[in-house]
Amino acid sequence: MNETQTTVRGTIITDPITRRVGTDQVFTFRVASNTRYLDRTSGEWKTGGTLYFSANCWGTLAQRTAGRLFKGDAVLVHGRLLTNEYEKEGQIRRDLEMRVNAIGPDMSRMEVTAKRIRFDPVEPVDGRAGESEGDEETGADAMEIGSVEHDESDPGGEHGDAGPGGEQDADLVGAHPGPGGYVGAASA
């Protein structure tokens, strides 16, 4: 088995599946990633070879991505790349898998709305220190992700740049809370 840490830019090509393995939750989907290059003789853009692999998100990452990423979404995935060998019908076969550590939308190919969550304690409100609106389990507000077209007729509205109260929406940094306290989760 060969393991390598890598980041891949690609597209989810199957409907993701969430399942339980023992006490852990796993969110699984297939990714396709290809290259494009300019053929100097014809002057046309051509598609190179395509890399296909299964992506598996485990634990908290699985919980945060399940129901938020869908077939057709452009993603950046980072994790350990594994080659699995198995025998089928007398032949040795190989399968490529990524155990995902971080995942996020490819913002060059889709619009994203992110909400920042705070992990620092806040003043008690009704006796509940450190709690905020949003997800009951984590105290987190989920962000919305989806392949949507920009609506020119909606400046500053639902798809505009300003968030509630006129502040700018935060950019997605990753699927786990980072130093800035951002969380990556998605919905269409």
Q: pLDDT tens-digit profile of 139-167? A: 444 444 444 444 444 444 443 333 333 33
pLDDT at 100: 97
pLDDT at 130: 46
Over the chain, what is the mean pLDDT? 73
Over its C-alpha atoms, the chain yields an Rg (Å, rounded) of 20
Name 31's bridge partners. Answer: 12, 53
Q: Write the pLDDT tens digit of every residue in 103-141.
A: 999 999 988 887 776 666 655 555 554 444 444 444 444
Q: pTM, whole model, 2 decimals?
A: 0.59
User: Domain segments of the chain: what residues?
Assistant: 3-105
Q: What is the CATH number of domain 3-105?
A: 2.40.50.140
Quickly tell me which residue has 């105290």 as its tokens.
Answer: 139
